[in-house]
Structure 1
Amino acid sequence: MQLIFLGTASCYPTAHRGVSCTALRLDDGNVWIFDCGEGSQVQIQKSSVLPGKIKKIFITHLHGDHLFGLPGLVCTLGCQVQDRKEPFILDIYGPLGLRRYLRESLKLSVSPLPFKYKVHELVPFDFKGTLFESQEWQIAVGSLHPQEELGDTIYEKQGVWNVMLENNISVYAGPLVHRIPCFGYVVKESPSPGALNVLQLKKEGVPPGPLYKQIKDGHPIALPSGKIIIPEEVLGPPKPGRCITILGDTCDSSALKDIAINSDVLVHEATLEESMKDKAIEHGHSTPVMAVSFAESIAAKKLILFHFSQRYKRDTGEAGEDGDNNTSVNILHKEAELECNKRNFICDIMLAEDLLEIDVKRPVPK
């Protein structure tokens, strides 16, 4: 798997950073997109992501810097899949209101699509801890877009939204504290069987072929002699699956602790530095110290910070939003590292940059 950061800034895009959009490339080459802020389709064209490989889109919340690029991207995908012979359905997941937003955007702009799409809505809690019932956010009513198929409405079960299961990958969502309903997504890969002991099988007289696959799939095999070989006798330790947690905007991520535990990679926002913590929390955002605190609580192996305020510049000489050449984004990295040292917490800390690609390797079996 690979993470490709397409936009790493908050609020609005600039010449140096796009707004929130992260791609996850699976081992089969297919791509899932997490958030789709304004300009995401341009960022995708600059990256190694092939638009025709995008199969699913996950939206954390309905603020514009995470959403305004969605209608444009959906239309762009139409140019990539129109010659496909096999049917294609684009699955889109996100909070209540997303279905209405995309439907009206496509209908009012009279945007035809050469493929079907579904929007699956997660029904969030309101700030009182009950299901969000605001009339403005209700499930879309009226006629569907001509290419729309009605998606699922997903309710929480014991504080967790079971978003989807496909092949050996599950996606879960949990609530984040922000100014509007917001989610974090946890992508979990199932363990895979260990390596076959081919030498042992050959000693038992089992030739390479279908029987190898049968035992690799966890089924015992019977030899002509009548002997039964069970998988545990000829398979090595199972290979652990990967766990990747990608959060939306948040000033409190603690509700995801149980489902995100032992994440191989945690992608967490760090909008402002610690000296501006009060302002960050006021607007529903985090500092690097807050991100490290959550990373430690879930024993994350790698923490990637993103969603930086435009006040922070890259180390390329450009000024930040306030014109201050001394406001380097590296201050956020330093704060996170210092907090890890203070806590004796071992974690690989990284700052995301637009078009940065990170390999997510399988954990080594213990």
Structure 2
Amino acid sequence: MSMDLTFLGTGSAYPSPHRGASALVLRTEGDCWLFDCGEGTQTQLMKSQLKAGRISKVFITHLHGDHLFGLPGLLCTISLNLSPSPTQPPACVDVYGPRGLRHFLRVALSLSGSQLLFPYAVHELQPTADQCPPESQPADAPEASATESRHPQERPGRTIPLDVARDCYPLLEDERFVVVAFRLFHRLPSFGFSVQERDRPGRLNTQLLRDLGVKPGPVYGRLKSGESVTLESGRVVTPDEVLEEAIPGRKVCVLGDCSALVGDGPLQACRGADVLVHEATLGDGHRERAVEHGHSTPKMAAAVARACRARKLVLHHFSQRYKPLSLGTEGGEDDVAELRRQAEEALQDTGTEVVLADDFLTIPIPIKRLH
């Protein structure tokens, strides 16, 4: 199964002529999961090779506008481009994010009289008090009241508390993926998301099967799927006998804005990540200012990558002072390549690759190969 990450916006605070606001898409076999949806995300989607109608899940890291303001418009655009089938109703779009997201969408869609041709559900994460400064606690994320009217296409969503034992928020599990969220510290409660692909069955030992007299056919498929089979001789063949070592699933972790991790959950969820996406708003020379505003520098991001042993660290969410390399502004304190150098210096003995994200950069995530 193919898997890749496409960055639609890599700038902080607001969209600019050079960078869009925060948004990236994880694509697996054509199915698209959107992480954050800053203003202008739908325009960025139209400039990319991705299709908005393929978005089936949205994950919002926190409620700052540069990560959120594009969501109502994007949902409306998806609806406008939808061609309803009389025999197959449209699938529900699941939206995950902090407490207050449900209320935000209800108000935005209601006041604008927006109609949708597909159902959606908002699943809210309950933050803890240690995810933001005390002054940011009061009424920063109002809950939708019991008497507040749902949008006609809104389906009931879950309210997800912290699983204290695991220090994470279990979001979904299916036959392909396990997805959890974890806590980050920012000026508003912020979250990160870990997408863990399930392990793949190893290859069949076809020579052993031939020796056992098993011919290619449906039996091979049953064994590959983990089912034992009984041969005509009465011999029971189990998958463990004929399957080689399982192929570990891939792991992609996307962190929201943060100046620190909260609890043990983030490192547990991100351990061994194939790709770790982490903000680096300002260079290390501006660390004090970055932390004051709840942000990170390249060396801070590198420290997280080192702690969780990530294979690849992708930096994004750059201050507008750093122009993309494509503009030819190399050299000097505001050279975006300097951010990569700072992270690489902090990771030079680890083998972790450092990548600078740019708008429309696509990073393939290949299937792991056993040596």
TM-score interval for Structure 1 and Structure 2 normalised by the shorter chain: over 0.9
Contact 2:21 / 2:38 at 8 angstroms: preserved in 1? yes
1:325 Cα offset (Å): 7.7
* 2:221 alignment partner, one of 188, 203, 213: 213
The runs of 5 or more residues in structure 1 that have no matched partner are none
Structure 1 residues 337 and 194: CA distance shift in structure 2, 3 A? same
Deviation at 1:134, TM superposition (A): 4.5
Residue 40 of structure 2 corresponds to residue 35 of structure 1: no
Percent identical = 43
TM, length-normalised to structure 1: 0.94
Matches within 5 A, 1:199-278: 199-253=207-261, 255=263, 256-278=266-288
Deviation string 1:294-347 (CA, Å, 9 cap, x unpaired) is: 100000000000000000012234779xxx986221110111111112xx2221
Deviation larger for 252-261 or 147-156: 252-261
SS state of the match for residue 180, structure 2? Answer: strand
What secondary structure is seen at the aligned counterpart in 1 of 2:241? helix
> Match of 1:365?
370
Q: 1:210 to 1:77 in 2, by over 3 A?
A: same
1:61 partner letter: H
CA distance in 2 between counterparts of 1:151 and 1:128 reads 23
Q: Please tell me whether the aligned partners of residues 123 and 154 of structure 1 are also in contact (alpha carbons under 8 angstroms).
A: yes
- Report the alpha carbon displacement of residue 86 of structure 1 after superposing the two structures with TM: 2.0
Spell out, residue by residue over 1:113-165, the C-alpha distance to the aligned partner (whole angstroms, 9 max, x if none).
01111000011101389xx9844524212110011111011111122100111
In 1, distance between residues paired with 2:131 and 2:278? 25
Q: Is the 8 A contact 1:313 1:325 kept in 2?
A: no
RMSD: 1.9
Matches of 2:118 and 2:202, distance apart in 1: 39
The equivalent residue for 2:185 is 177
Could you tell me whether the CA contact under 8 Å between 1:103 and 1:145 is conserved in 2?
yes
Instruction: State whether residues 313 and 355 of structure 2, in contact with CA within 8 Å, keep that contact through their aligned partners in structure 1.
Output: yes
Query: Is contact 1:32–1:56 with CA below 8 Å preserved after alignment?
Result: yes
Q: Deviations over 1:171-216 (max 9, x none)?
A: 1011101001100000001101001122322232222222112111
Aligned with residue 139 of structure 1, among 136, 143, 149: 143
**For residues 1-366 of structure 1, what are the structure 2 equivalents within 5 Å?**
1-26=3-28, 28-84=29-85, 85-87=87-89, 88-127=91-130, 134-141=138-145, 142-158=148-164, 159-253=167-261, 255=263, 256-317=266-327, 327-341=334-348, 344-365=349-370
What are the ranges of 5 or more consecutive residues in structure 2 without an aligned counterpart? none
The amino acid that maps onto 1:365 is L
Q: Distance in 2 between matches of 1:162 and 1:91?
A: 14
TM-score, length-scaled by structure 2: 0.92
Give secondary structure in 1 for the equivalent of 2:267: helix
